[in-house]
Amino acid sequence: MKVCITYRETFYHLLKAVFDACNKQPVVAELGVLRGENALKLYNALNPKEMVLIDSWSPAANDAYSPFDQLPPWVDSVDKYAYYYGGPMHDMATYDTLYQECLSRFADKDNVTVIRAETIAAIDEIKTRTEIDKFDLVYIDANHQYEYILRDLMYYQDLLTDDGFILLNDCCHSLQGTKQNLGVLEAMSSFIKRSDFIPVAVTNTDWSDVILVRKNSLMVQLIDVALANSDIPFVEIPHQLMPAARVVYGQQRINLSFV
């Protein structure tokens, strides 16, 4: 696995180079879309054949933020993040506005299907509203709590081609992540024990993105070649160390530590 000193958008272009080498125009899904800003970056970088955007755009998603009636002292209230969502976290109008922002970004793109549903319920809609059988890339950025991320991983692995990629957002253990009750890294750690996927690259950032692919896929070698021939600095470590990753803070920058 390569620990890359870069940002997630660079990974999109890296994957585009890999898809081009395979003469493939990918079919892409994003789970957790919000305003559609990241989805548009994915679209512009990858030039997908088809793209599906899935989000509940509903305050009901807040119900899974913590299983405790009284939040532990190390977890911030979800209401603290209202500034990021643009309105009250329990007001449907906030999510209606986000949904409309997303629709406006993709209004002129007839190869994009937007599904307003919870991620697992959306699987049936994918089957009824599109002719997509399998995805080449699924970007997972929906509910960040452990059980929900693990569920998305377990279900959507079956919707991937044999050489398909999963990208995980915010796959880190950091002080800020703890305050948001993130469980992405822990869910990924459980998932790779239950599946044949392995992490092949991670951004050296405090909100790390991770690329996962099946261990026997040709894409493992193609990612290696693409990174080796890029200008992205990286350090290679055994992929088994990824569950130990944590963010450490310095005066000049943050880094990932695996000890």
pLDDT tens-digit profile of 121-158? 999 999 999 999 999 999 999 999 999 999 999 999 99
Give residue-wise pLDDT tens across range 210-253. Answer: 999 999 999 999 999 999 999 999 999 999 999 999 999 887 88
pLDDT, tens digit, for every residue of 56-75? Answer: 999 998 988 888 889 999 99
Q: Please report, as a single letter, which amino acid is at residue 26.
A: P
pLDDT at 176: 87
3-state secondary structure of 54: strand
Residue range of the domain that includes 69: 2-257
The answer, yes or no, to whether residue 84 has pLDDT greater than 90, is yes
Q: 121 near 31, Cβ under 8 Å?
A: no
Please tell me whether the overall predicted TM-score, pTM, comes out greater than 0.85 for this model.
Answer: yes
Averaged pLDDT, 101-129: 97
Vertex 67 angle, CA 175 and 209, to 5°: 40
- Which tokens in the block code for residue 202? 């991670």
CATH number of the domain residue 42 falls in: 3.40.50.150
Instruction: Look at the chain and report how many structural domains it folds into.
Output: 1
If you compute the radius of gyration of the chain from its CA atoms, what whole number of angstroms results? 18
Is the pLDDT assigned to residue 86 strictly greater than 90?
Answer: yes
CB 1 within 8 A of CB 243: no
The amino acid at 128: T
